[in-house]
Amino acid sequence: MQARVVRVVLLVLALAGAGARAKTKAPVAGTTFFPVGAQRGVTSVITLSTKIAPAHRQVTIDCPGVQFVAGPKDTVQVSIAPDAPLGPHLIHVFNDDEAAEPRWFSISTLPEILEKEPNNAFGAEQVIEKLPVCVNGKLDIRGDVDLFAVNLEAGQTLVAVVEAYSLGSLADAFLQLRDDQNSVLVTAHDGRNLDPVLTFQVPKKGRYSLELAGFAHPPTADVGFTGGPAVAYRLHLSAAPVTLRVFPAAVSRTSKTRLDLLGAGSASLDFDGSHLPVEPLVQTITPPNAIAPIQIAVTDTPVLREVEPNNELANAMPLAVPSCVAGRIDKAGDVDRFVFQAKKGGYYNMRVLAKGLGLPLDALLVVCDSTDKELAHNDDATEGDDPLLSWKAPADGLYQIKITDLFNRGGEAAEYVLMLGPGEETFATTITSKSVLTVEAGKTVELKATLKRVNGYGADLVAEMHGLPPGVTAEPVAAPAKPGDFTVVLKAAANAAASNGPVQLVLCTKGDKTPLISRTATLDLRGEIRRGTSLLDQADYVWLTVVPAAPAVPAVIAAAPGAAVASVPPAVPAKVQETKK
């Protein structure tokens, strides 16, 4: 698989005299931006808060079409091209000696405004004059509550979508909508993760009040509302039709797929997926009226729709191998059954995608024989929150796949995608080191990873580093013959120059008798505190900072406030040319 190219845009934020270099440090925590996103096609200003020293401080973002310009103090002017990719992206802040942990930054299409205090009491809300809009706010202090007033017409559907947890905010947010008498009409808590999504059909014309607050995340013994510098959010509001999800949540690369656009309002489109890459399995599309990209599974087979009734073996839906089918657990107790022919000794892969696509179904997958005897089951794979089975057929015959909700729930949004295919011997690698590595010239740093071999995959694998800057080397490492941990050592030469950028760990097969396969290792961005899924939970690189052994003449001339900074290639920062206005 071709490794994803990470494009970067450099920003010089300040100039300071060269002094003694700091010693190698761990990733710098506590870096934040506000706002934590911006509108596509617009120039706006954000404020940076970081412990990264200002000498030669720079910023990168992992997508094209974004340009930063230094402003007074810690302000940054951000210009986003009209065709810049929507959704969350990773930003890195660094200087010649250290780098911060990556932060999320969201690009959207709605007009943007800032939250205005005071707005924490009924009757003193911030009035939203025009919809749709994205409100950039912050729960500044402990106990803070932000209220917004909107005027709505009967028959409209108010949609409110929060980005907070998904952008790294330390908050478990919730929304409440009240009428003009301060009566609570609807409350929204968790959506696909800790961020709420609220929809409300307006019964009568009037003024409505939307309340946003949050509890601490990770949870603490204090049950009061949280607040602080790191509790920023983006509140997307619309009273026009909004596409919140699509059905089926899968598209084919080989034929058009009819998609129902679901949310506030309904429509459909024929989606041509021929332009989509083969990998990854889960990708994003942005259909009409979507506030943010929507995740879908990508397959090379036509996408089928579950046909009801299929609760019993007698009316189970037949599937070929391979197949992709989208279904829905309509109500509590609903069981969707599918049947397929298997050969004795053959391996079959069965994967259900629901939570991994942002859907609420907690799916349970069960394999049964023709007498309804259970042979295997799975509800959460080790790699995620959805079922995944690699199953070996004990005999020739007809077998069932049963899908239901683990907790016997269901509903309109309890949708899933089932992918059935022949068993595949494969492998995957997860980076277990921190997201930022730092190495001093003349020294080494270790990158640690874990290898998973599926269905007894036994080919010899070699781990290599890609994108290393000049002066840094890493000897290829033979991956373990069995699933387990391994380490790659990165060595910086004594004369290695200052460098910052993404590097990738790639595992590939070797030998004339083995098909050449390569896969890039992934890094979990959220770790053990992950609650649900979002559009950006993993990266396919780590950030490497190389600290030279002695002070050197700065390779980058700082741009004065208001000067444009040019885009450069990713792996090795190049000179940034100053352009005067």
* pLDDT computed for residue 107 by the predictor: 97
For the residues 53-70, what does the mean pLDDT come to? 87
Low-confidence winner among 127-141, 153-167, 224-238, 545-559 (lowest mean pLDDT): 545-559
Q: Is residue 578 in a domain? A: no
Q: What is the CATH number of the domain that holds 80?
A: 2.60.40.10
450 closest CA partner among 467, 472, 425, 431: 431
> With 50 as the cut, is the pLDDT of residue 382 above it?
yes
Look at the chain and report how many structural domains it folds into: 5
How many CB atoms lie under 10 A from the CB of residue 71?
17
Q: Are 508 and 516 in contact (CB under 8 A)?
A: yes
Q: Show which of 372, 390, 423 is a domain's final residue.
A: 423
Instruction: Answer yes or no: do 391 and 375 share one domain.
Output: yes
Q: Give phi and psi for 166, each to the nearest 5.
A: -65, -20
Q: What are phi and psi of 175, to 5 degrees?
A: -125, 145
User: What is residue 57's predicted lDDT score, i.e. its pLDDT?
Assistant: 84
Asked if 210 and 286 sit in the same domain, the reply is no
23 pLDDT above the threshold of 50: no
Assess whether pLDDT exceeds 90 at residue 565.
no
The larger pLDDT score, comparing residue 520 to residue 426, is at 520
Do 234 and 285 fall into the same domain? no
Contact 333, 408 (CB under 8 A): yes
For residue 132, say if its preceding peptide bond is cis, omega within 30 degrees of 0. Answer: yes
- Please give the pLDDT value at position 579: 29
* Cβ proximity of 469 and 547 under 8 Å: no
41: DSSP letter:
T
**Rg of the Cα atoms in the chain:** 26
Report pTM: 0.88
Neighbours of 377 (CB within 10 A): 13
- 527 pLDDT band, cuts 50/70/90, is confident
pLDDT at 221 (0 to 100):
75
Domain for residue 121, yes or no?
A: yes
Residue 540 forms part of a structural domain: yes
Largest CA distance in the chain: 79
Cα–Cα distance, 79 to 201 (Å, whole number): 36
Per-residue model confidence as pLDDT tens digits over 301-346? 999 999 999 999 999 999 999 999 999 999 999 999 999 999 999 9
pLDDT of residue 552: 47
Other C-beta atoms closer than 10 Å to the C-beta of 23 total: 10
Q: Is residue 466 part of a domain?
A: yes
* pLDDT classification of 287: cutoffs 50, 70, 90: very high
Q: Which residue has the higher pLDDT, 510 or 106?
A: 106
Spatial distance between the Cα atoms of 420 and 352, rounded to a whole number of angstroms: 9
As a whole-number percent, the residues of the chain with pLDDT over 70 amount to: 88
**Mind listing the pLDDT tens digit for each residue in 28-56?**
888 999 999 999 999 999 999 999 888 88
Show the tokens assigned to 383.
């790699």
Same domain, residue pair 473 and 559: no
Supply the CATH number for residue 449's domain: 2.60.40
Confidence category of residue 10, pLDDT binned at 50, 70, 90:
very low
Mark whether 309 and 400 lie in a shared domain. yes
Helix (H) or strand (E) holding 232: strand 232-238
Question: In which domain, by residue range, is 378 found?
Answer: 305-423
Question: Both 289 and 352 in a single domain?
Answer: no
Same-domain status, 206 and 271 = no
Query: In angstroms, rounded to a whole number, what is the distance separating the alpha carbons of residues 249 and 245?
Result: 8
**147 pLDDT higher than 50:** yes
Q: H or E stretch including 341?
A: strand 336-342
**pLDDT at residue 29 in the model:** 83
Q: What is the pLDDT of residue 551?
A: 61
Residue 576 has pLDDT above 50, yes or no: no
**What pLDDT, on a 0 to 100 scale, did the predictor assign at position 515?**
67
Residue 135 belongs to domain with CATH number: 2.60.120.380
Domain co-membership, 460 together with 491 = yes
Mean pLDDT to the nearest integer, 500-523? 87
- pLDDT surpasses 90 at 275: yes
Instruction: Say yes or no to pLDDT of 566 above 90.
Output: no
**Both 29 and 70 in a single domain?**
yes
* Cβ atoms of 235 and 197 closer than 8 Å: no
Do 392 and 272 fall into the same domain?
A: no
| 434 and 458 fall within a common domain | yes
Q: Is the dihedral of CA 378, 382, 384, 390 positive or negative?
A: negative
Residue 53 and residue 158 share a domain: no
Q: Which of 403, 423, 443 is the last residue of a domain?
A: 423
Please name which of 367, 405, 369 lies closest in space to residue 386, comparing C-alpha atoms: 405
Q: Does residue 113 register a pLDDT over 90?
A: yes
With the CA atoms of 552, 556, 557 and 560 taken in that order, what torsion angle do they form, in degrees rounded to the nearest 10? -130
What per-residue confidence (pLDDT) applies to 513?
56
Rounded to an integer, the average pLDDT of 66-77 is 85
Per-residue pLDDT at 8 = 37
Would residue 169 count as lying in a domain?
yes
Strand 197-201's sheet: what is its strand order? Answer: 112-114, 133-138, 232-238, 157-163, 197-201
Beta strands in 385-498 (DSSP E): 388-392, 397-405, 415-422, 426-431, 436-440, 444-454, 461-466, 472-473, 477-478, 484-492
Residue 281 has pLDDT above 90, yes or no: yes
Q: Residue 512 has what pLDDT?
A: 66
Residue 172 has pLDDT above 90, yes or no: yes
Residue 175 — very low, low, confident or very high, per pLDDT cuts 50/70/90?
very high
- C-beta separation of 50 from 86 below 8 A: no
pLDDT, tens digit, 9 for 90 and up, residues 404-415: 999 999 999 999
Q: Is residue 31 part of a domain?
A: yes
Residue 581 located in a structural domain: no
- Is 576 a domain residue? no
Rounded mean pLDDT of the chain? 88
Of 258, 263, 260, the residue nearest 241 (C-alpha): 263
> Tens of pLDDT along 356-374?
999 999 999 999 999 999 9
Q: Report pLDDT digits (tens) over 445-478.
A: 999 999 998 777 888 999 999 999 999 999 999 9
